[in-house]
Amino acid sequence: MGTYEEKLSILSEMIAFARVDHSLKESEYQFLLKVALNLGVQRDVFDGLLKENSPRIVLKTQAERIVQFHRLLLLMNVDQEQHKKEVNTLYNIGLHMGLPPAAIGQVLEVMHNYPDKVIPPDVLINIFKAHYN
């Protein structure tokens, strides 16, 4: 995984996405905190990101972008609610990352086939692989 600055950028993007609906639910906070700790970011630093964003750093590899897209997908579904604005925002983030539009659309469609809309990583990877071949 990338540099510490990249990790902070990843978390900032996730926090901004969680706030698309102008709130940050406890389930979203707890999910984000787990991601932060998993990335090696201490809680006080993470809490600071809630007040001030880290500079945006573009993820270098396609694999890193797909992993980040998956994190955002999990975040969107952690509160068991989906709003059209969240889905549209996630789609646009995926496009901005340079992910194939058809793959993004397929992921957003297929997620409804899984409990809690949690797509297994291998299924997600296979969707993107199919669109790159």
Q: Is the pLDDT of residue 3 over 80?
A: yes
The pTM assigned to this predicted structure is 0.91
Q: Write the CB contacts of 1 (distance below 8 Å, at least 6 apart in sequence).
A: 7, 39, 64
DSSP 8-class letter at 115: G
Continuous H helices in the chain: 4-18, 26-38, 43-51, 62-77, 84-96, 101-110, 121-132
Report domain extents, the chain. Answer: 4-132
Closest CA to 34 of 80, 87, 71: 71
Look at residue 22 in the predicted model and tell me its pLDDT.
84
Q: What is the mean pLDDT of residues 52-77?
A: 91
Tokens of 123: 């299924």
The CATH code that applies to domain 4-132 is 1.10.3680
